Amino acid sequence: MAARRTCLGVAAARAALGVVALASPALVARPWVGEAPGPLGQQVLGRALGGRDLALGLGALLAGRQVGALRNWGEAGAFADAIDAAITVVAFRRLPAKGRWAVLASASGAALAGVLSARCL
């Protein structure tokens, strides 16, 4: 039961982040990439990530009643978060000092929570 709640909690947070990123893309993109890509780049990156996270979050929430489906959506979200963490590590020294730690911690934490909870379903 705790694994299901964790999966659904991560999914709800992901969907909320997606909505925020679609509405205010720079708010999500700036901590990760700074001002480097400029306003248009931040909007494109932020909205693209927002769409991805909204889709993954809603997919998991809608699959919440079917354990197998929830596990699959949870693993897909965890995979996306692990990729985000890996990309952050590769570019770490070139990313904004404060934002890189926040993104690395949140992406790694979400990936770990997603994998562990999905495996326990």
pTM for the structure as a whole = 0.85
Q: Do residues 44 and 112 touch, judged by C-beta distance below 8 A?
A: no
pLDDT digits (tens, 9 = 90+) for 32-88: 888 877 788 888 989 999 999 999 999 999 998 888 899 999 999 999 999 999 999
Residue 33 pLDDT: 85
Per-residue 3-state assignment (H helix, E strand, C coil) for 36-71: CCHHHHHHHHHHHHHHHHHHHHHHHHHCCCCHHHHH
Domain assignment of residue 55, given as a range? 2-120
Residue 34 pLDDT: 84
Domain count, the chain: 1
